[in-house]
Amino acid sequence: MAWQFFSRLLKDRAGNFGMMTAILLPVMLGAGGIAIDVTNMMMSKTQLQDAADAASLAASTAMANGQAANDEEAELLARQFFIGQVANYFGDDTAEKIGNSTAFNVTTTINGTSKKYDVGVNSTYGMALTPLMGVLGYETMNIAVNSASTSGTEQTRAALSMYLALDRSGSMSFMTNETKSGTCDNYTKNSWSNPTGSNKPCYIRKIEALQAASHALVKSLSDADPEKNLVRLGAVSYNDQTQTPKAMAWGTDHVKTYVDSLPYKPTGGTDASGAMEYAYKALVGSNNTEASAHTLEKNGEFQRYILLMTDGEMTGNGSSFNSPIDQKVRGWCDDAKKDAIIIFSVAFMAPDNGKKLLNYCASGSENYFQPDTMAKLVATFDAIGKKAAKSATRLTH
C-alpha cells in the first residue's frame, strides 16, 4: 500500500503552480526591481549630467566674462551652481552630499593675447535601490557623470591703415587756453601777425596742442601694435598749399616725427582739398598698396581711416570763406565714404563754417569732434586712436 501512495503522489500535479511560484518569485521581484531602478538610474544620470554641464559652462563663461576673478572663484561658482541644480531634483540634503563628493577642476591657459578656461566636473552618486533589488542582494548603484567646458577670450587687434590730414595754416599759431613757462608772442586773430601787449604768461599755441594730441594718437596705435605689423600710418599737412606728405608705412614713429617738425609759427591760408586727395588716393580700394602690405603680414582684413583736422574754414590763400574750396573738400569726403573709408574729423576751436564742413565729412556723428580746449583735443585724438585700434573679445564654447 505504501508504494501505491507514493505512486499517486508522484502523478499528482495539483501543487505545481504553488511550487513554481515559490521558486520564481524572487526572480520576478528582482526583475521588477531592475526595471524600476534602471528607469530611475537613467533619469538620475540625465539630471546629474544636466547639472554638471550647466555648472561647468557657467564657471567657464564667468571666467571669460571677468565675473570670476581667478580659478578659485570659478571653482566655487561651479560648486554652488551644481548643488543648486541638483537640489531641484534630489532635495537640498542629498544635493549637498553629492556636491561635497564632486570634483571641480578649473584650468586657465594663457597664449599670447588669448586666454582659455577649462572647467571639469566629475560627480559620483550612490543611488539607493528599491527593496525589490534587495532580494538580489543589491542596495545601491553608483552613477558617474563627467562634464567639461571650455570658454576663452581671444583678443585680436584690428589691422588698419590711417592717413592724417592736418591743418598747419596761420591760425594754428594762435594761442590756446593753456600756458607754459617763459615768454612768447601770443597770437590771436586780432593780433596776427604783430602781437601787442604782454607776452607773459606764454600761451601754448594750437600747433603745439596738435603735436601733443598727435602724441596721444600714436601712443594708442603703437600700444595696440607693439610688433609694428598691424598699423600703417601716413600724414600730410596743409595751409593754402598741400605740404610734402609722409608716405604710408608700418608703425607710428615716422608720423610722430613729421608732426613734431611742423613749424612753431605756421603761416598761410586754409585749403584741405589737396590733403584729402592725397589721403583718399593712398587708401582707395583700387590702390592695392595697402591691401598688399597687409596681406604680406597675414592680416586677412584691415580697416581704412582718414583723420581730417582743421581749426578754421576753407579760405584758400585769402582770409575769407571760399565756398568752391569747401565744396571740393566735401567732394573728396564723399568719394572716401563711398569707398568705405571711415573719416574721423576734428574741428579744433573752429568757426561755424569749419564745423559744418567737418561735420559733413565725418562718417557719422560719432566720428565728428569739435574740441575747444587743448585738453579736449588731446583726449579726442587719444579716443580716435583707441577706437581705430579697438580690440574684440569673443566667447567660444
| pLDDT tens digits along 117-175 | 788 889 888 877 776 555 556 677 788 888 887 766 555 557 999 999 999 999 999 99
How far is Cα 193 from Cα 6, in angstroms, rounded to an integer?
A: 144
**Average pLDDT of the residues in 197-205:** 86
Are 186 and 263 within one domain? yes
Domain boundary among 118, 136, 154: 154
Domain boundary among 113, 132, 154: 154
- Establish if 2 belongs to a structural domain: no
Are 257 and 377 within one domain? yes
List phi, psi (to 5°) of 200. Answer: -140, 125
| pLDDT tens digits along 37-74 | 667 778 878 888 888 888 887 777 777 767 777 888 88
Residue-range definition of the domain harbouring residue 96: 16-154
How far is Cα 383 from Cα 334, in angstroms, rounded to an integer?
A: 24
Q: Is residue 24 scored above 60 in pLDDT?
A: no
Residue among 128, 147, 130 nearest 85 (CA)? 147
Q: How many domains does the chain have?
A: 2
- Establish if 182 belongs to a structural domain: yes
- State the pairing for strand pair 103-111/114-128: antiparallel
How far is Cα 132 from Cα 27, in angstroms, rounded to an integer?
A: 10
Are 281 and 186 within one domain? yes
Q: How does residue 93 score in pLDDT terms, banded at 50, 70 and 90? A: confident
- Establish if 184 belongs to a structural domain: yes
* 359-363-251 Cα angle (round to 5): 110
Are 106 and 138 within one domain? yes
- Establish if 7 belongs to a structural domain: no
Are 268 and 388 within one domain? yes
Give residue 53's pLDDT. Answer: 84
Query: Under a CB-based contact definition with an 8 Å cutoff, are residues 329 and 277 in contact?
Result: no
- Establish if 128 belongs to a structural domain: yes
| pLDDT tens digits along 294-323 | 999 999 889 999 999 999 999 999 999 999
The x, y and z cell numbers of residue 281, run together, are 588716393
Give residue 64's pLDDT. Answer: 72
Are 120 and 172 within one domain? no
Q: Higher pLDDT residue, 4 or 171?
A: 171
